[in-house]
Structure 1
Amino acid sequence: MKTYLQRFLIFAAFTTTAIGCHAPSTTHQADFVIDLFPKKKEYHLGDTLVVKMLHPTFEGEIEKIDYQVHRNTLISVGDTVILASLPLGKQYLKVSVQMTNGKTYTAQKEFLLLAKEAPKLYHYQILNEYAHDPNAYTQGLEFVGDTLVESTGQYAESTIRKWNPFTGEVYKNVPLQPMYFGEGATVFGGKILQLTWREQVGFVYDAQLNLQKTFKYNKSKEGWGLCHNGNDKLYKSDGTEKIWLLHPETFAEIDSLQLCTNKSMYSYANELEFANGKIYANTFLKDGIMIINPENGAIEGVVDVRGLKEKVTKTEKVDVLNGIAYHPVRKTFFITGKNWDKIFEVVFTPANP
């Protein structure tokens, strides 16, 4: 019988494509191609590779060879490189050969890089239960003090609101126009940001939820979750294997992480929360929360939150788990779901301390 962690990861698995050699991108035509040894379908962080340059047609003597992955220069000894401190997923190894005569030849090869270790499994412990609006199709959730900023979805029903889970008081509730399906939200730089699902537009509000401006998506087709690291990095999920990094002023996608374990790539990261140096991501259609390394995309943990949905009042509207907010003073997480009438205050504990 598969463990919960195994079933969770199998469900969420993103099908990877076969690794192949791409046509070289060089300053001159047909200069060389790259081959990697040992030959494997995937490699893991920390692996050592031998990089062979095949069929070179260089003019002059080689002065220097550089190896890069995603703008990171690799540690190398001769033709041997170490895959250390790199983003995971489908990457390109770029080899640049500098000649004594000033010419430079380049080529690249795609490969799959996975995490070194398997994710750790966590359970949850309920500390408190609070009332939650059963008509709120929760898409985004984040604390500012004791106030929750919550984004809700569904066409003609989406809102952005501020309320207090300890008192139940709703400070403000702003409906979106009927053509917008609300998604993730976060509070960044004194502004409240809200995504939409397929409309490829985001909203920027002031602290009182007055709409200030909008922004367009740059590379992703959909908006799912949104969070930030408390400083200058914004993260956005779109339902694929990618977590996008957004420009802190224009909110355009400028880079991305790819979600990986030591076995495969994964998708369906939904609502996001940044806490304790990690990204916590509700997983669409699954009672699990991924704990993601924001530097390389490694899924370092999975929280098994099965059983929470069974504790809410059963109605036709009750949908999946979605909504996670960290309270930094209480050091607890608040978790709810779409059209749930409860929000749970919980802590996460390792399954095998």
Structure 2
Amino acid sequence: MNKFNLLLIFILSFLIFSCGSNNGKKKSDFSIQIPNNKSEFTINDDLQATIVNSKNRTIDSISYFFGDRHLKSSRNETELQLQLKDVLLGNQTLKAIVYSEENSDTLTKTIKILNNKAPVVYTYEIVNSYPHDMTSYTQGLEFHDGILYESAGQYGKSKLRKLDLESGEVLKEIELDDQYFAEGLTILNGNIYQLTWQEDEGFIYDLESFEKTGSFAYNQSKEGWGLCNNGEKIFKSDGTEKIWILDPETLAEKTYIQPTHHKSISTRLNELEWVNGKIYANTYQKDGVAIINPENGAIEGLINFSGLRDKVTQHDKLDVLNGIAYDPETDKLYVTGKNWDQIFEVKIIKK
């Protein structure tokens, strides 16, 4: 076969492969238009969008999507109206696939959806305090069957601990290898799940024996920060605007919510705790805890813990608020911080 024939076969193959789809390299004859080019909405808004057909091409059908959700398919409807009351908050993608003259064009528009009201602001009242090891760089804190479990961080100092709340006594402890920086933990179905920070790996332990039984990788996020669960799903923060929802069997990050209030999307949410159907999330290096609706990501409340750090022993390694534990058996909430010598039982009060 000569060089000319080889070149001809290559060109024909390329044309066959390219036919039937707008691969994104050439400008589409269609676009999504939103009135006034609006890109920011709230959940009580209606979203209106129109497919603009600049070359008056014959449209065979259009399929509309919002994120991963298929909205509808139509042969000739170039207008879409969507009520946003039931969608996820945060940065979302409106997508339309236009099929026309044996070609398809995929169109996208990124929009931001905010909550429609400001978070309720709460303060706190100290009910009681309990001793806590001030050398413990608290990363995760959780009750299970009335017993307190803690994950402590820092390279060379990371641990998994079982604690007696009243005395602060360490009942059981595992030290992690020096190359790991431990982060959040949660307990589900007889297992303790513990994150590491930048090592792209989490550990699984048997709840009773504290023996390591496995590990899991982070398949989409780059870091591990906080963990909690609702008895069925595991939620994971990674320092970004996302709280991931993990498959409880494989620990794969399947989907996510974006914690969002009425003005912006929040980031750097750290330690997580499941409290009466909501996610409580500590904001790293802040004195606030966000109360998040796990269904859509709406930040419905903010607890201001200003001044709590001043009530523990002051020393050169004292660090920020981090550590939220809710005991469902007693309906009590506890908070502490990194290298704090006390754990506080607190009552949350609306301001």
Q: Pick the TM interval, shorter chain.
A: 0.7 to 0.9
Alignment correspondent of 2:219: 218
- 242-251 or 192-201: bigger deviation: 242-251
| Deviation digits for residues 269-316 of structure 1 (CA, Å, limit 9, x no counterpart) | 010001111110011111000111111111111000111111101111
Is residue 336–residue 343 contact of structure 2 (8 Å, CA) maintained in 1? yes
Deviation at 1:95, TM superposition (A): 2.1
**Cα distance between partner residues in 2 of 1:184 and 1:79:** 42
Alignment correspondent of 2:205: 205
**Cα distance between partner residues in 2 of 1:140 and 1:344:** 15
- 241-250 or 78-87: bigger deviation: 78-87
Task: Please point out which of 46, 49, 53 is paired with 1:48.
Answer: 46
- 167-176 or 76-85: bigger deviation: 76-85
Residue 275 of structure 2 is aligned to residue 278 of structure 1: no
Residue 153 of structure 2 is aligned to residue 143 of structure 1: no
In the superposition, relative to structure 1, how do residues 97 and 32 fare at CA in structure 2: closer, same or farther (>3 Å)?
same
In the superposition, relative to structure 1, how do residues 116 and 62 fare at CA in structure 2: closer, same or farther (>3 Å)?
farther
Deviation at 1:255, TM superposition (A): 1.2
Alignment correspondent of 1:72: 69
Deviation at 1:145, TM superposition (A): 1.6
**Higher Cα radius of gyration:** 2
Is residue 122–residue 350 contact of structure 1 (8 Å, CA) maintained in 2? yes
Alignment correspondent of 2:31: 33
Q: TM-score, normalised by structure 1?
A: 0.85
Gaps in structure 1 of 5+ consecutive residues: 1-25
Is residue 146–residue 329 contact of structure 2 (8 Å, CA) maintained in 1? no
Partner SS for 1:199: coil
Alignment correspondent of 1:178: 178
Deviation at 1:57, TM superposition (A): 5.8
**Cα distance between partner residues in 2 of 1:284 and 1:61:** 50
Deviation at 1:169, TM superposition (A): 3.2
Is residue 74–residue 84 contact of structure 1 (8 Å, CA) maintained in 2? no
Q: TM-score, normalised by structure 2?
A: 0.86
Deviation at 1:67, TM superposition (A): 3.1
Amino acid at match of 2:48: V
**Cα distance between partner residues in 1 of 2:228 and 2:55:** 49
| Deviation digits for residues 146-180 of structure 1 (CA, Å, limit 9, x no counterpart) | 21110000110010010110243322011100111
- 178-187 or 87-96: bigger deviation: 87-96
**Cα distance between partner residues in 2 of 1:302 and 1:214:** 34
Amino acid at match of 1:301: G
Partner SS for 2:37: coil
Aligned residue pair count: 323
- 173-182 or 248-257: bigger deviation: 248-257
Amino acid at match of 2:218: Y
- 82-91 or 186-195: bigger deviation: 82-91
Alignment correspondent of 1:229: 230
In the superposition, relative to structure 1, how do residues 51 and 250 fare at CA in structure 2: closer, same or farther (>3 Å)?
same
Is residue 74–residue 82 contact of structure 1 (8 Å, CA) maintained in 2? no
Within-5 A mapping of 1:1-353: 27-28=21-22, 30-55=28-53, 60=58, 65-74=62-71, 78-97=79-98, 106-207=106-207, 208-231=209-232, 233-351=233-351
Is residue 72–residue 86 contact of structure 1 (8 Å, CA) maintained in 2? no
Gaps in structure 2 of 5+ consecutive residues: 1-19
**Cα distance between partner residues in 2 of 1:307 and 1:74:** 48
Deviation at 1:60, TM superposition (A): 5.0
**Cα distance between partner residues in 2 of 1:50 and 1:146:** 51
**Cα distance between partner residues in 2 of 1:61 and 1:283:** 49
